[in-house]
């Protein structure tokens, strides 16, 4: 039972990391566009 809960936590952490990577990618794209216009 304990092991099961740990797996779920790890899965959620992986999802958070994936979302953070997406956000960072979007931010870098936005910054790139901004610098192109400046």
Supply the pLDDT for residue 11. Answer: 84
Supply the pLDDT for residue 9. Answer: 77
Give which of 11, 4, 7, 33 is closest to 25, Cα–Cα: 33
Supply the pLDDT for residue 12. Answer: 84
Distances (CA, A) of 2 to 5, 6, 12, 14, 23: 5, 6, 16, 19, 32
Asked if residue 33 has pLDDT above 90, the reply is yes
pLDDT, tens digit, 9 for 90 and up, residues 3-32: 667 778 788 888 999 999 999 999 999 999
Q: In the chain, which residue ranges form alpha helices assigned H by DSSP?
A: 2-37
């Amino acid at each position: 039972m304990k092991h099961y809960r740990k797996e779920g936590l790890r899965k959620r952490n992986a999802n958070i990391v994936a979302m953070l990577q997406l956000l960072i990618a979007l931010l870098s794209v936005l910054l790139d566009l901004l610098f192109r216009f400046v």
